[in-house]
Amino acid sequence: MSESFVRLSDELSSKGIDVEGVIASLKKQHIETPSWGYGNSGTRFRVFPNSAAARNVHEKIDDAALIHKLSGIAPSVALHIPWDYVSDWKALGSYATDKGIKIGAINPNVFQDEIYMLGSLCHAKVDVRNKAIEHMVECCEIMSATGSDLLSIWLADGTNYAGQDSIRNRKALLLDSLKKIYANLPADSRMLLEYKFFEPAFYHTDIADWGTSFALCQRLGDQAQVLVDTGHHAPGTNIAYIVAQLLDEGRLGGFHFNSRNYADDDLIVGSTNPFELFTIFTELVSAGDLAADVAYMIDQSHNIEPKLEAMLLSVLNCQTALAKALIVDYKGLETLQADGDVLGSHRLMMDAFETDVRPLLAEVRSRMGVPVDPIKELRASGIETKLAAARR
């Protein structure tokens, strides 16, 4: 136990913060990493190859297991189908288990085949819709085989020009398609429905915002919830507000964490606006049991960054944001809010945000038996160089 942690612990305790409770919550944190973040992927303009990048799903699982070993809080890996397709899904699930992690969300892909140029679940032609539905039903079967309990759906469906198609007709087709997929969900699993306000569609996107996703989920049933991608909003959008609304309605299913300056930039989470990430986590912490089943996932395709270090930094930034959110004096905040103390409330939040929580995180990692400085450990190991030589 370091002197800096003892000082911080004493300071937090004096404010009524249960430090041991904070540590317990941090030890239970779960951030899922994505298989596509370990391979060579990036922008649609150019993918810069990285010699250390994973070449297949087994190497992606190996890399995800390493990130969990270093951080202690990344025990699952999301798959993208068909990018990660294998012939034996049970064997793949066992492979992940042997590596110390598990298979997380299954992400269908209905945006890269040529027949999906004008849409997938919203397409005017029934044979195209059926192909997309069949693929997602297959993903439900993959969930059962791998032990996954999340089907994570993002659609590129939309139009580029006014009059190109009927928005209302597409909405009806989308709901009908989703109902057929929903009926095939494994028991005790969830469908997470993601939204994006533009790109690749530029006139309208069929699931453009949280309200559209929310309305669809309401029509589908209790197993359908909204997925918030932190990069899928117009500049200036208050994501913490969206999180609060969905929590209150019981429809917040999970997150795809990343950062953006302009739109879907896919930057490391917390790199452009760490205060925004902090406010999101304060909504989650203050919601208590309402946030118990929320899934936390990274969604980034690192293009110029070293794959492993970028992923590890993303996970650790989420850990830092949670740590700061956990040390907010919420009882004191309620009192200040009830008194109408505008700046007192804000200053209390800023006090937690500006606290150096590195001693706290070092103590947590020490107790968990993982490196106190995971980034330093990763760099010192030379693993990126070793993998580059092996995978070149």
**pLDDT top residue among 392 and 150:** 150
Q: Is residue 383 part of a domain?
A: no
> What pLDDT score was predicted for residue 315?
98
Q: Is residue 349 part of a domain?
A: no
Q: Is residue 347 part of a domain?
A: no
Mean pLDDT of 268-285: 98
- Give me the sign of the Cα torsion angle 142, 227, 153, 221: positive
Residue 151 structure tokens: 């089907």
Q: Is residue 222 part of a domain?
A: yes
Q: Is residue 269 part of a domain?
A: yes
Q: Is residue 374 part of a domain?
A: no
Examine the pLDDT at 44 and tell me if it is beyond 80. no
- Give me the sign of the Cα torsion angle 326, 329, 334, 339: negative
Give me the chain's average pLDDT, please. Answer: 97
Q: Of 67, 33, 100, 64, give the one whose Cα is nearest residue 374.
A: 67
Domain containing 71 equals 29-328
Examine the pLDDT at 94 and tell me if it is beyond 70. yes
Q: Is residue 102 part of a domain?
A: yes
Per-residue pLDDT band for 43 (boundaries 50, 70, 90) equals low
Mean pLDDT of 149-155: 98
Quick: pLDDT tens for 209-250: 999 999 999 999 999 999 999 999 999 999 999 999 999 999
> What pLDDT score was predicted for residue 1?
84
Say which CATH number the domain at 96 has: 3.20.20.150
Cα separation, 123 vs 173, whole angstroms: 8
Total domain count, the chain: 1
Per-residue pLDDT band for 46 (boundaries 50, 70, 90) equals confident
- How far from the centroid of its chain's Cα atoms is residue 106's Cα? 13
> What pLDDT score was predicted for residue 297?
98
Quick: pLDDT tens for 175-200: 999 999 999 999 999 999 999 999 99
Examine the pLDDT at 316 and tell me if it is beyond 80. yes
- DSSP secondary structure letters along 27-80: HT---BEEGGGTBS---SS-----TTSB-SHHHHHHHHHHHHHHHSS--EEEEE
Q: Is residue 301 part of a domain?
A: yes
Per-residue pLDDT band for 126 (boundaries 50, 70, 90) equals very high
